[in-house]
Structure 1
Amino acid sequence: MAPKPKTRDRVKALIREHGPMTTEEIAAELGMLKKTISSCISNSRSTKAKHFYVKDYLPQRGRSGLPAARFALGNRRDAPFPETNRKATARRYYDRNKGVIKARRTTREASPFKSMITQLVTA
């Protein structure tokens, strides 16, 4: 007989007590590594009878990255992943790297055909 999953039981008890939580919050509360908690939740969700589902997503605060999933108890359908504004993301990237992008544009090597055409036209 397989041993009883202790980590999963501790995570379930914590979520039952505090409500939906992210893996980072669970790891901090239990004093365990985030990787351990993520692995436990992932393994528990990979079976037919899921023990956890994604209730919603929290945007990252104070750092860049994808929104963090908040897990709740149950065997329900996961919440859809939030849409990202690609235009705004591309604009932020451009604003952060504007100097490098402009420097690359001005220092591009000319095409060999372009230089050959200019030589023929001026000759």
Structure 2
Amino acid sequence: MPKPPITRDAITAALKECGPMTVPELVEYLDWPRNRVDACITTARENHPGKFFRIVRYRKQVGVQGREAAVYAAGPGPDAPRPTFDDAHKREIKHRYYQGNRALWAARRKSRTGRGAVNPWAGLVPMARRSP
């Protein structure tokens, strides 16, 4: 007699109770190791495609490098199509990286060229009173 799928039943109950969630959200909600949740969902989707879990949409990850995170729901049905990873998407990622690091690059460039830190109050004092 086969064992009952305790992990799969708990994940299904959590998805039905809270609605569609990503794997990190399931891990936080169930307080289980990520490997356990990942293995259960992957095994169930491989052995029983479209029967227990389906992907309802993909969500962009913030603060994590990589592709979009799948949002799972309990129940049968087809998966949502995965968004394309085209040039516009890569350009957006590179632009976000540039925006986040340009101040750091400017500070390094100024230290390399020998320029000191800029005094923000220097423009408020008239030229005649400035000390050389």
Q: Normalising by structure 1, what TM-score? A: 0.68
The equivalent of 2:5 in structure 1 is 5
Overall identity of the aligned pairs, in %: 32
Deviation (angstroms), 1:57: 0.5
State the SS of the aligned residue for 1:37.
helix
CA distance in 2, matches of 1:87, 1:72: 29
Alignment of 1:54-65 (within 5 A): 54-65=55-66
Alignment of 1:2-41 (within 5 A): 2-41=2-41
CA distance in 1, matches of 2:26, 2:9: 12
Q: Normalising by structure 2, what TM-score? A: 0.64
Deviation (angstroms), 1:87: 4.9
CA distance in 2, matches of 1:5, 1:57: 26
Alignment of 1:1-123 (within 5 A): 1-48=1-48, 50-87=51-88, 89=90, 92=94
Any unmatched runs of 5+ in structure 1? 97-123
Deviation (angstroms), 1:85: 3.4
Structure 1 runs (4+) greater than 4 angstroms displaced: none
Any unmatched runs of 5+ in structure 2? 99-132
| Matched residue count | 96
State the SS of the aligned residue for 1:46.
helix
